[in-house]
Amino acid sequence: MDLNDNQEEATFREEVQSFIKSEAPTAKKGISGEEALVANWEVNQAWFKKMAKKGWIAPAWPEEYGGAGLSTMQQFVLNEEMALNRVPRPMHLIIGLGMAGPTIIVHGTEEQKKEHLPGMIAGEDIWCQGYSESEAGSDLASLQTKAVRDGDDYIINGQKIWTTLAHMAKKMILLARTDPDAPKHKGITYFIMDMKSPGVTVQPLMNMADTHEFNEVFFDNVRVPKENVIGEENRGWYSAMTTLDFERSAIGSTIGMKQSIESLIDFAREHVGDHTSALKKNRMLRYELADRMIEVEMARMLSYRVVSLQSRGMIPNYEASMMKLYNTEMNQRIARTGQHVLGLYGQLGRGSHLAPNEGRNCYTYLRSVAYTIEGGTSEVQRNIVAQRGLGLPRD
């Protein structure tokens, strides 16, 4: 694994840096992710349109579909520079760009590509994911939402849960069971559903950080045209598992974690003499902060390992699970360290004039609980590493 850029990568890095310097909105120190997105919506939307013109909204997509057709390493460089410069990323588009779009490119018809891809690239269409159900989370193939063929339509009945951005979404990628007698991994069909369809009800689910990301969605005799089936009927599981060979090294989140630790260190130094930092009373916090910084460098190496495999044409398997497991649990450790640094003041959230860092640390601590659940629980990731990485037998 070569940690240095070759000439092509170095040239592309200079191009990205120059573009960010001349075109990107000014980032506010200490703000990234969701906060950076909503801090100045109109300015960020203008920035996303500039990115789209270069194909950098969906850099892994083929150029004919509005992407940039970048190599694995070029995608890595792009994401690394965007994260280093705290540039707003189109997180509200991630389900469309990262899941629905690639699946449509691989399994969709030309008509479906022409209808659905332009809105994603333009940054106008928000999508949501209708996968998880109350009894089908980690065991997704147990889903029970039904789709019954009726002429040129399918009639959908059932419900989905933890549906991120359903309250904002224009369209949903939906898995529903079309053959109840087939084995559970078969008999599932992949649909695109208009969220304005009659019979769709969205109910908000507030998380423990008191923010509205998730929703519960109910389907009561919702009609979906047969033209909105992606791939083959009863083979939706295979469409759902499809991903393109796009960069998934998580370098952006790794850099974000490092920036969070640096912000904590800066805060501890600036407030070591007053009552808003626990560093003066607890000298061991220096070692705790050092541990977090060492751990984030380990996470960076895991990211490099994944992208190195991809650049050689290999598909990361258990390596990606290792990275997901390590990064999400480290996010929680960073959040706990933040609370240790702030002491009792870390319990103050947004809205309190006494809250350090405008209450971001309190929010991060509460939100971090979900990291090891969403996107595949830590238990699932450990099983993958054990079975596929270490060759251990199934329990």
* pLDDT digits 0-9 by tens, 112-143: 999 999 999 887 899 999 999 998 888 889 99
Q: What secondary structure does DSSP assign to 84-120, as a single string?
A: HTT----GGGHHIIIIIHHHHHHH--HHHHHHHHHHH
Given this model, what pLDDT does residue 274 score?
Answer: 74
Looking at the domain assignment, is residue 314 inside a domain?
yes
Given this model, what pLDDT does residue 278 score?
Answer: 67
* 211 and 131 part of one domain: yes
What's the average model confidence in pLDDT over 263-288?
Answer: 80
If you average pLDDT over each of 52-66, 145-159, 275-289, which comes out highest? 145-159
* 146 and 57 part of one domain: no
Question: 317 or 190, which is more confident?
Answer: 190
Given this model, what pLDDT does residue 382 score?
Answer: 94
Q: How far apart are CA 272 and CA 279, in angstroms?
A: 6
* 132 and 68 part of one domain: no
What's the average model confidence in pLDDT over 31-37?
Answer: 49
Given this model, what pLDDT does residue 244 score?
Answer: 46
The domain that holds 47 is classified in CATH as 1.10.540.10
Given this model, what pLDDT does residue 196 score?
Answer: 97
Given this model, what pLDDT does residue 247 score?
Answer: 44
The domain that holds 329 is classified in CATH as 1.20.140.10
* 266 and 368 part of one domain: yes
Looking at the domain assignment, is residue 96 inside a domain?
no
* 235 and 296 part of one domain: no
* 211 and 255 part of one domain: no
Q: How far apart are CA 288 and CA 341, in angstroms?
A: 10
* 255 and 384 part of one domain: yes
If you average pLDDT over each of 1-15, 228-242, 290-304, 307-321, which comes out highest? 290-304
As for how many domains the chain has, the answer is 3
What's the average model confidence in pLDDT over 286-303?
Answer: 94
Looking at the domain assignment, is residue 233 inside a domain?
yes
* 383 and 261 part of one domain: yes
Q: What secondary structure does DSSP assign to 121-145, as a single string?
A: HTT---EEEE--BTTBSSSGGG---
Q: How far apart are CA 182 and CA 232, in angstroms?
A: 15
Looking at the domain assignment, is residue 62 inside a domain?
yes
Residue 184 has which token pair? Answer: 């559970």
How distant, in Å, are the alpha carbons of 20, 153, 158, 215, 374 from that of 218? 42, 18, 6, 10, 21
Given this model, what pLDDT does residue 28 score?
Answer: 54
Looking at the domain assignment, is residue 2 inside a domain?
no
- The length of the chain in residues reads 395
pTM for this model (two decimals): 0.85
Q: How confident is the model at residue 358 (pLDDT cuts 50, 70, 90)?
A: confident
What's the average model confidence in pLDDT over 215-227?
Answer: 97
Q: How far apart are CA 314 and CA 292, in angstroms?
A: 30
Given this model, what pLDDT does residue 234 score?
Answer: 95
* 156 and 212 part of one domain: yes
The domain that holds 143 is classified in CATH as 2.40.110.10
Tell me if 237 sits within 8 A of 179, measured CB to CB.
no
Q: How confident is the model at residue 283 (pLDDT cuts 50, 70, 90)?
A: confident
Q: How confident is the model at residue 211 (pLDDT cuts 50, 70, 90)?
A: confident
Given this model, what pLDDT does residue 277 score?
Answer: 66
**Domain end point (choices 65, 89, 113):** 89
pLDDT in tens, 324-335: 999 999 999 999
H-assigned helices in the chain: 7-23, 33-39, 41-53, 72-84, 94-95, 101-107, 110-121, 236-240, 251-270, 285-311, 318-342, 360-367, 378-384
**Domain end point (choices 240, 266, 296):** 240
Half-sphere exposure of 9 (CA within 13 A, CB side): 17
Looking at the domain assignment, is residue 59 inside a domain?
yes
How distant, in Å, are the alpha carbons of 166, 187, 342 from that of 158? 15, 16, 45
Tell me: pLDDT of 34 over 70.
Answer: no
Looking at the domain assignment, is residue 115 inside a domain?
no
Q: Which amino acid is at 186?
A: K
Q: Which domain holds residue 185?
A: 124-240
What's the average model confidence in pLDDT over 357-384?
Answer: 90
* 260 and 222 part of one domain: no
Whole-number average pLDDT of the chain: 88
Q: Which amino acid is at 344?
A: L
* 64 and 152 part of one domain: no
Q: How far apart are CA 276 and CA 347, in angstroms?
A: 12
**Domain end point (choices 217, 240, 263):** 240
Q: How confident is the model at residue 80 (pLDDT cuts 50, 70, 90)?
A: very high
* 379 and 255 part of one domain: yes
Looking at the domain assignment, is residue 103 inside a domain?
no
Tell me if 58 sits within 8 A of 97, measured CB to CB.
yes
